[in-house]
Structure 1
Amino acid sequence: MASFHFLRHLAPVETVEFLLLVGLCLLCSLLADAQTGACYGTLGNNLPSPPEVVSLCHQHGIRAVRIYNPNQSILQALNGSGISVTIGIPNENIPLIGKSPPSARAWVQYNIKRFPGINFKYVVVGNEINPLDPTFAAIAPYVGPAMVNINSALFGLGKTIKVSTAISTGLLAQSYPPSAGAFRGDISGYIGPIIDFLKTHNSPLLANVYPYLAYISDTKDISLTYALFTSASPVVIDGHYRYQNLFDAILDAVHAALEKYGANNVGVVVSETGWPSAGGPAASVRNAMIYNNKLVGHVGRGTPRRPGRPVETYIFDLIDENQKSPEYEKHWGVFYPNKQPKYPIRFSWHGN
Structure 2
Amino acid sequence: MATFSSTSNSYLMAAIVLFVGLFMANLDITGAQSVGVCYGMLGNNLPSKPEVIALYKSHNIKRMRLYDPNPEALQALRGSNIEVMLGVPNSELQSIANPSNANEWVRRNVLSYWPSVRFRYIAVGNEVSPVSGGTASLAKFILPAITNVYNALRSARLQDQIKVSTAIDMTLIGNSYPPSKGSFRGDVKSYLNPIIGHLQYAKAPLLANIYTYFSYAGNPRDISLPYALFTSPSVVAWDGSRGYQNLFDAMLDALYAALENLGSHGAALEVVVSESGWPSAGGFGTSLDNARTYYTNIVRHVKGGTPKKPGRAIETYLFAMFDENQKQPELEKHFGVFSPNKQPKYPLNFGGERMWDVSDGYNHSVSLKSDI
- Give me the TM-score of the superposition, normalised by structure 2: 0.84
Residues 1:122 and 2:125 are matched in the alignment? no
| Partner Cα distance (1:294, 1:238) in 2 | 23
| Partner Cα distance (1:31, 1:52) in 2 | 24
Out of 78, 99, 102, the residue aligned to residue 100 of structure 2 is: 102
Out of 251, 262, 279, the residue aligned to residue 276 of structure 1 is: 279
Q: Which amino acid aligns with 1:336?
A: S
In 1, are the aligned partners of 2:128 and 2:136 still within 8 Å (CA)? no
| Partner Cα distance (1:114, 1:242) in 2 | 48
Q: Which runs of 5+ in 1 are unaligned?
A: 1-29
- Which residue in the other structure is 1:148 paired with? 147
Of residues 261-270 and 59-68 in structure 1, the stretch that sits farther from structure 2 once superposed is 261-270
Out of 313, 318, 332, the residue aligned to residue 315 of structure 1 is: 318
- 1:288 CA drift (Å): 1.2
SS in 2 for 1:324: coil
- Which residue in the other structure is 1:52 paired with? 51
Q: Which amino acid aligns with 2:159?
A: G
| Partner Cα distance (1:280, 1:134) in 2 | 24
Deviations 1:246-302 (A, max 9, x none): 000011111001111222220000000011111122211111111111111111211
Out of 322, 331, 337, the residue aligned to residue 334 of structure 1 is: 337
| Partner Cα distance (1:349, 1:137) in 2 | 43
| Partner Cα distance (1:38, 1:57) in 2 | 9
Deviations 1:202-258 (A, max 9, x none): 110000000001101011111000000000001010111110000000111110011
In 1, are the aligned partners of 2:130 and 2:137 still within 8 Å (CA)? no
CA 1:31–1:281 in structure 2 vs 1: closer, same or farther (change >3 Å)? farther
| Partner Cα distance (1:264, 1:130) in 2 | 21
Identity percentage of aligned residues: 51
Equivalent residues in 2 for 1:234-249, closer than 5 Å? 234-249=235-250
CA 1:31–1:199 in structure 2 vs 1: closer, same or farther (change >3 Å)? closer
Q: Which structure ranks higher in relative contact order (CA pairs < 8 Å, sequence separation ≥ 6)?
A: 1
- Which residue in the other structure is 1:19 paired with? none
- Give me the TM-score of the superposition, normalised by structure 1: 0.88
- Which residue in the other structure is 2:173 paired with? 172
- 1:138 CA drift (Å): 2.7
- Which residue in the other structure is 2:4 paired with? none
| Partner Cα distance (2:43, 2:327) in 1 | 8
Higher Cα radius of gyration:
2
| Partner Cα distance (2:95, 2:56) in 1 | 34
Of residues 268-277 and 32-41 in structure 1, the stretch that sits farther from structure 2 once superposed is 32-41
In 1, are the aligned partners of 2:179 and 2:254 still within 8 Å (CA)? yes
How many corresponding residue pairs?
320
CA 1:114–1:31 in structure 2 vs 1: closer, same or farther (change >3 Å)? closer
Residues 1:293 and 2:293 are matched in the alignment? no
- Which residue in the other structure is 1:225 paired with? 226
Q: Which amino acid aligns with 1:33?
A: G
Q: Which amino acid aligns with 1:283?
A: T
| Partner Cα distance (2:188, 2:137) in 1 | 15
Q: Which amino acid aligns with 1:296?
A: V
| Partner Cα distance (2:120, 2:29) in 1 | 25
